[in-house]
Amino acid sequence: MTTDEIDQLREDVLAAIDVAAGPDALEAVRVHALGKQGTVTALLKSLGKMTPEERQVQGPRIHGLREAVNAAIGARREKLEAAILADKLASETLDMTLPVDVPTSGTVHPVSQVMDELAEIFADLGFAVATGPEIEDDWHNFTALNIPDTHPARAMHDTFYFPPDDSGEQKMLLRTHTSPVQIRTMVDQKPPIRIIAPGRTYRSDSDATHTPMFHQVEGLVIDKGITLGHLKWTLETFLKAFFERDDIVLRLRPSYFPFTEPSAEVDVGFSIEKGKRVIGGSEGWMEVLGSGMVHPKVIEACGLDPKEWQGFAFGCGIDRLAMLKYGMDDLRAFFDGDLRWLRHYGFSALDVPTLSGGVGA
Ligand code: DAH
For residue 179, the ligand 1 atom closest to its alpha carbon is 1
**CA–centroid distance, residue 197 to ligand 1 (Å):** 12
Which of 266, 261, 292, 290 lies closest to 279, judged by CA? 266
Residue 337 C-alpha to ligand 1 middle, in angstroms?
28
| CB-based pocket (< 6 A), ligand 1 | 177, 179, 218, 257, 260, 290-292, 313-315
* For residue 6, pLDDT beyond 70: yes
Q: Residue 197: is its pLDDT beyond 90?
A: yes
CA 263–ligand 1 middle distance (angstroms): 9
Question: pLDDT per residue over 181-196, tens digit each?
Answer: 999 999 999 999 999 9
**Contact present, 318 and 199 (Cβ < 8 Å):** no
Mean pLDDT value across the chain: 92
**Which residue has the least CA distance to atom 5 on ligand 1?**
315
pLDDT by residue (tens digit) across 276-309?
888 999 999 999 999 999 999 999 999 999 999 9
- 96 vs 249: which has the higher pLDDT: 249
Confidence at residue 353, expressed as pLDDT on a 0 to 100 scale: 87
Model confidence pLDDT, tens digit, residues 148-164: 888 877 776 789 999 88
**Does the pLDDT at position 100 exceed 90?**
no
Testing ligand 1's pocket by substitution, the residue of 291, 297, 299, 320 carrying the most ligand atoms inside 8 A of its CB is 291
257 CA from centroid of ligand 1 (Å): 7
Q: Which residue lies with its CA nearest to atom 8 of ligand 1?
A: 315
Residue 177 pLDDT grade (very low, low, confident, very high; cuts 50, 70, 90): very high
pLDDT score of 361 more than 70: no
Each residue's pLDDT tens digit, 244-274: 999 999 999 999 999 999 999 999 999 988 8
Q: What is the reported pLDDT for 278?
A: 87
| Chain segment 103-136, per-residue pLDDT in tens | 667 899 999 999 999 999 999 999 999 999 999 9
The whole-angstrom separation of Cα 301 and Cα 289 is 24
Alpha carbon nearest to ligand 1 atom 12, residue:
314
Centre of ligand 1 to C-alpha 214, Å, is 14
Smallest CA separation from ligand 1 atom 6, residue: 315
Test site for ligand 1: of 179, 231, 263, 310, most ligand atoms within 8 A of the Cβ: 179
Choosing from 145, 214, 314 the residue with most ligand 1 atoms within 8 A of its CB, the one to mutate for a pocket test is 314
Instruction: Tell me how far the alpha carbon of residue 289 lies from the centroid of ligand 1, in angstroms.
Output: 8
Greater pLDDT, 104 or 233: 233
Look at residue 41 and tell me whether its pLDDT is greater than 70: yes
pLDDT, tens digit, 9 for 90 and up, residues 30-39: 999 999 999 9
Asked, as a colleague might, if the bond just before 254 is cis with ω within 30 of 0, I would say: no
Cα(190) to centroid of ligand 1, in Å? 22
Closest atom of ligand 1 relative to the 201 alpha carbon: 4
pLDDT higher at 166 or 140? 140
317 CA distance to ligand 1 middle (Å): 9
State what percent of residues in the chain have pLDDT above 70.
Answer: 99
Indicate the top mutation candidate among 176, 177, 230, 252 to test ligand 1's pocket, ranked by most ligand atoms within 8 A of CB: 177
Atom nearest to 216 CA in ligand 1: 4
To the question of whether residue 261 is assigned a binding role by annotation, the answer is yes
For residue 356, pLDDT beyond 90: no
Average pLDDT over residues 53-82: 93
Q: Does domain 110-344 have CATH number 3.30.930.10?
A: yes
Would you say 211 and 325 are in contact if contact means Cβ atoms under 8 Å apart? Answer: no
pLDDT-based confidence at residue 358 (cuts at 50, 70, 90): confident
pLDDT band at 170 (very low <50, low <70, confident <90, very high): low
